[in-house]
Amino acid sequence: MNRLFSKSLLGLAGISFLLCSSQLAMALVPYNVAIILNSGSTNTIGFRIYVSPSGEVHYVDGRGSNQGKLSEKLTEKFFRDLKVAEPLSNLSIKQSCVKSVSFGTTTTIRLAGEQSQDISCPGNAKAERLENDVIAIAKALNVVNVPKSQGKPLPPQNF
């Protein structure tokens, strides 16, 4: 009886490990996928957009999650501008960027272990090009900052 209990317990532990491992694998974002993160504001829900070099996108905003495909031209421009801006952590931003307390948001980009500062306060042409790319990508996907009264909070980030 004791032996049967031990084997059952080991079996459950193995299944639990496999489930946790598969959830961890699903949570990982490939190294070549750019992640656009918008913080939202006091009154709005932010968004996240995952852009692959093929133009395939997955995104989530206050209306829920979805997927789509960007044009080849927009995808190539975005990834070219990201390459020119490397390292993203050194991307220049304006130090005196005034934003509304209620409606001001922060937008950053993550790629290959690097994260930009707030590109909505561009401090040079590289940052400005990325800000314009993000605006074009959000517009192409119809991703917006949904008012908190009209949407649902974003699910937690798994990275």
Q: For residue 135, how many C-alpha atoms fall within 13 Å in the half-sphere facing its CB?
A: 8
Based on the fold, state whether residues 11 and 67 are members of the same structural domain.
no
Residue 128: how many other CB atoms lie within 10 Å: 14
Based on the fold, state whether residues 66 and 95 are members of the same structural domain.
yes
Distance, first Cα to last Cα, the chain: 43
Domain count of the fold of the chain: 2
Assess contact for 87 and 126: CB atoms under 8 A.
no
* Percent of all residues in the chain with a pLDDT value above 70, rounded to a whole number: 81
pTM value is 0.78
- Rounded Cα distance between 54 and 38, Å, is 22
Say which amino acid occupies 90. Answer: N
| Token code pair at residue 45 | 């829900």
Residue 100: how many other CB atoms lie within 10 Å: 10
Residue 136: predicted pLDDT: 98
CATH classification at residue 78? 3.30.1560
Residue 158: predicted pLDDT: 58
Largest CA distance in the chain: 72
Give a yes or no: residue 158 inside a domain. no
Mean pLDDT calculated for residue range 81-107: 87
154 Cβ contact partners less than 8 Å away, ≥ 6 residues apart:
40, 45, 46, 47, 48, 60, 61, 62
Range of the domain at 102: 31-150
Mean pLDDT calculated for residue range 133-152: 94
Average pLDDT, the chain: 83
Based on the fold, state whether residues 42 and 10 are members of the same structural domain.
no
Based on the fold, state whether residues 81 and 21 are members of the same structural domain.
no
Give a yes or no: residue 8 inside a domain. yes
Give a yes or no: residue 156 inside a domain. no
Based on the fold, state whether residues 49 and 113 are members of the same structural domain.
yes
Question: Cα 3 to chain center, whole Å?
Answer: 48
Based on the fold, state whether residues 86 and 67 are members of the same structural domain.
yes
Based on the fold, state whether residues 105 and 124 are members of the same structural domain.
yes
Check whether 141 has a pLDDT greater than 70.
Answer: yes
Residue 53: predicted pLDDT: 97
Based on the fold, state whether residues 69 and 57 are members of the same structural domain.
yes
Based on the fold, state whether residues 12 and 74 are members of the same structural domain.
no
Based on the fold, state whether residues 17 and 67 are members of the same structural domain.
no
